[in-house]
Amino acid sequence: MTRTPLVAVLDYGSGNVHSAVKALTAAGADARLTKDRGLVAEADGLVVPGVGAFRAVMDALRASRGDELIGRRLAGGRPVLGICVGMQVLFELGVERGVDTEGMGEWPGVVTELDAPVLPHMGWNTVQPGEGSRLFHGLEDERFYFVHSFGVQKWVMDVQPQYRQPILTWCDYGASPFLAAVENGPLSATQFHPEKSGDAGIKLLSNWIGGLSATTL
């Protein structure tokens, strides 16, 4: 019998956590909102939600030492999924209203305001999944729900040919495309909200859960 994968949703003071737990449960996970460091470390997957300002999210992560937990999981090759600002803080720097805030630096790059006539970018939009995407398998023509004014508009990570290239998914809004999702080994992230994206979002979470290393009994 296959064990239901245990997914920890990191409780560090960010909003939108309960809807993420509900969506992960619907997608087939044993999802638990938790601050427990042992559970976060040992869970099959960790989800890092995030809403609001880049600096506020980073301050909350550092205050709870959530950034350390994320880093330790990734150092051990254990899956992590960032959502919305939980994706943005994985990059080196966030620039909001003229204020620079250091991110976690898991990926190089800068989060900046979108160059668009109307902000925030709020509502449903299509994406262009990268070749070989596991997250978007069967979802190539679906729409996802976005709520944000900032994003990563340029990917600058230089990966040597002997290593697997990250899978990048882009979205068009305004003058410049922005990253809608990244899949890079154990670390994945989406700028949109899967938990607000209806059946397509549940399917995407199910695809992610299906890649976790659940043991069998």
- Name the residue ranges covered by the structural domains of the chain: 6-210
Percent of the chain with pLDDT over 70: 95
Measured CA to CA, the distance from residue 6 to residue 80 in angstroms comes to 12
- By C-alpha distance, which of 6, 82, 2 is closest to 44? 6
Q: How far from 215 is each of 31, 47, 120, 197, 208, CA to CA, in Å?
A: 16, 19, 42, 29, 16
Query: In this predicted model, what pLDDT tens digit does every residue of 59-70 receive, in sequence order?
Result: 999 999 999 999
* 0.85 surpassed by pTM: yes
What digits encode the pLDDT tens for the residues 76-127? 999 999 999 999 999 999 999 889 999 999 999 999 999 999 999 999 999 9
As a whole number, mean pLDDT of residues 13-40 equals 93
Closest CA to 40 of 18, 73, 62: 73
Question: Average pLDDT for residues 16-25, to the nearest whole number?
Answer: 92
- Active site residues per annotation: 84, 193, 195
Model pLDDT, residue 13: 86
Average pLDDT, the chain: 94
Q: Residue 1's pLDDT band (boundaries 50, 70, 90)? A: low
Q: Domain 6-210 adopts which CATH fold?
A: Rossmann fold (3.40.50)
